[in-house]
Structure 1
Amino acid sequence: MLEIKKLTKTYNNNTIFRDLDLTVSDGEVLSIVGPSGIGKTTLIKILAGLETADAGEVTLNSERLPVDGTRTDAKVGLIFQDFNLFPNYTVLDNIILAPINVNKIDKATAKDQARSILDTLGMLNKAELYPFQLSGGQKQRAAIARALAMDPQILAYDEPTSGLDEASTKQVAEIVKTLKHRGVTQLIITHDQFFAEIVSDRVFDFSKEVAR
C-alpha cells in the first residue's frame, strides 16, 4: 500500500500542492486526472525519487521513502511521457541496461527476464528493433517493459496515451488491464478522462485537491 500524508511542494514560493493525502491499495489502478500544469507529473516524480518535496511523508508497504532527493531505489517505476528510450539501443538492450548496471544481474539472466516481460506485453518479436522502428504504442510498451524489468512495487505512468492514436490507446489500456490481473499496482497521470475511467479502479481529481 502506498500512503501519502501531508505532502507539500513549492517552486520559487509558488505552492504546487499542499498537505496532499492519498492512499493507493495493493493491486489498485488509480488514475490522477486534471489539466496540464497543476502538479500531477511533479507528484509522481516525487514518488519515483526524481523530485524533492518540501514537507510530508510517503510510505510504501510500511517503509518510509525519503522525499529529500536521497532515493536511489526503483520501488516506483516511472514511464515517462516521451518514453526516454535510448535511440542507439535495441528494445532488448534498453530493457536490460538498468538491471545489469544497477541491480548487478548477469546479462544472460537479464535477457531471459526481459524476453519474458516482452512476451507478456506482446512485444517479443520487437526485441531486436530500435526505437525509430516502433510505433508510438510499441514504444510505450517497450518503456513499460523497461520499468517492469526493475521489479518495481508500483508502476507509474505520465500521460501514457499522449500523442497516441485510438488503436495504440486501446493497446495501452489492455496492457494496464493485463498487469492489473497480475497484481501490479499502477498509478496513472492523465488528462484523458475516458481512458482513466475504462482502466481505473478509482479516479482522483487532482484539480479539486489543489483548489481546496
Structure 2
Amino acid sequence: MLELKNLTKQYDTNMIFKNLNLTVPDGEVLSIVGPSGIGKTTLLKIVAGLETANAGEMFLDNKAVSVSEERNTADIGLIFQDFNLFPNYTVLDNVMLAPITVQKMAKDQAKKLARELLHSLGLSDKEKLFPYQLSGGQKQRVAIARALAMQPQILAYDEPTSGLDEQSTYQVAEIIKDLKKKNVTQLVITHDEPFAKMISDRVFDFATEVER
C-alpha cells in the first residue's frame, strides 16, 4: 500500500500542490487526471524518487520512505511518457539491463525473465529489434516489460497513451487490466479521462482535489 501524507511541492514562490493526501491500496489501479502543467508528473516523480518534496511523508507497506532526497529504488517502476528506451540496445537488452546492473542478476536469469515478460506482452518476435524499428505501442509495451523486470511493488505510468493510436491505446488498457488481475498496484497519470474510466478502480481529479 502507498500512502502520501501532507505532501507539499513548490518551486521558489510557485506552489505546485500543498498538503496532498492519498492512499493507494495493494492491487488498485488509480488514475490521476487533470490538465497538462498542473503537477501530475511532478507528483509521480516524487513517488518514484526522481524529485524531492518540500514537506510531507510517504509510506510504502507502512514503511517510511524519504521524500526529502532523491533515491534509487526498485519498488516503484516508472514508465516515462517518451519511453526512454536505449536506442543502441535491442528490445531484449533494454529489458535485461536493469536487473543485471542494478540487481546483479545473472545474465542467463535476466534473459529468461526478459523473454517471459516480452512473451506475456506479445513481443517475442521483437526481441532482436531496436527501438527505432518499433511502433509507439510496441515501445510502450517494451517500456512496461522493462519496468516489470525490476519486479516493483508499484507500476507508475506517465501519460501511457500519449501519441498512440486507438488500437495501441486499447492494447495498453488490456495490459493494465491483465496486471491488475495479478494484483499489481498501478498509478496512471493521464489527461485522457475516457481511458482513465476504462482502466481504473478509482479516478483522482488533480484539479479539484489538490490544495494550492
- TM-score clears 0.5: yes
Q: Which residue of 2 aligns with 1:63?
A: 63
Residue type at the aligned position of 1:203:
V
Matches within 5 A, 1:1-20: 1-20=1-20
- 1:52-80, Cα deviation, whole Å (9 max, x unpaired): 00000110111111112242212111000
RMSD: 0.9
- Alignment correspondent of 2:83: 83
Bigger CA drift: 122-131 or 30-39? 122-131
The normalised TM-score by structure 2 is 0.98
Amino acid in the other structure paired with 1:194: P
**Alignment match, 2:148:** 148
% of aligned pairs identical?
A: 68
Q: Which residue of 1 aligns with 2:119?
A: 119
Gaps of 5+ in 1: none
| 1:47-196 alignment runs, 5 A limit | 47-196=47-196
* TM-score, scaled relative to structure 1: 0.98
Distance in 2 of aligned mates of 1:68 and 1:122: 39
Q: Does 1:29 align with 2:29?
A: yes
SS in 2 for 1:73: coil
Tell me, in whole angstroms, the C-alpha distance in 2 between the residues paired with 1:70 and 1:132.
Answer: 31
* CA–CA distance in structure 2, aligned partners of residues 21 and 72 of structure 1: 23
SS of the aligned residue for 1:162 comes to coil
Kindly tell me the number of residue pairs found equivalent between the two proteins: 212
Counterpart code for 2:38: I
Q: Which runs of 4+ in 1 moved over 6 A?
A: none
Query: Hey, what does 1:205 align to over in structure 2?
Result: 205
Q: Distance in 2 between matches of 1:148 and 1:40?
A: 22
- Name the aligned partner's letter for residue 118 of structure 1: L
Task: Work out whether residues 30 and 201 of structure 2, in 8 Å CA contact, stay in contact via their aligned partners in 1.
Answer: yes
Is the 2:33–2:204 contact (alpha carbons within 8 Å) kept by the matching residues of 1?
yes
Matched-pair contact (CA < 8 Å) for 2:90–2:128: yes
Q: Could you tell which deviates more after superposition, 9-18 or 70-79?
A: 70-79
Of stretches 174-183 and 67-76 in structure 1, the one that deviates more from structure 2 is: 67-76
